Amino acid sequence: MKKLKNHVDDLFKDVPESEQKKAVKQEVLENLEEKVLDLMEQGKEEEDAINKTIVDFGDIEDLKKELGVKQPAKKNMSKLNLGFSIWGSILIIALFVFINFAYSPQTIWFVYPTFAVLWWPLTMYFNWQRKK
């Protein structure tokens, strides 16, 4: 049953210490131990019963909300993605230009893959505009 206690402690590690947290942790642990005992009475091995109980219990996001744990805000990375896509596209197009003029200067073909590569920063630009 130590595995259950460690699992419950791990689930509640983000929750600030309070009397409410202690009570909820104790209640959750008791419920999980009861379920393990029920599964063992049905013929399961202790290790299997503990693992099944942990899997069936799932996560505690709703309990965390009740206990007042704030979820970290997602950082908007769209501007960084736009800059990365622009510089990446410039490097890829420069590579095409180099290959074109180094190996077949009589035919200008680098323009065609350039149109395909430009879709990347274009999509990142519209994504940035939408999230702005």
Note the pLDDT of residue 1. 74
In the predicted model, what is the mean pLDDT of residues 65-91? 83
Domains of the chain by residue range: 2-67, 78-131
> What percentage of residues in the chain have a pLDDT greater than 70?
94
Question: pTM value?
Answer: 0.50
Work out the average pLDDT over 73-88. 89
CA distance 122 to 82: 8
Cα–Cα distance, 61 to 100 (Å, whole number): 55
Higher pLDDT, residue 68 or 8:
8
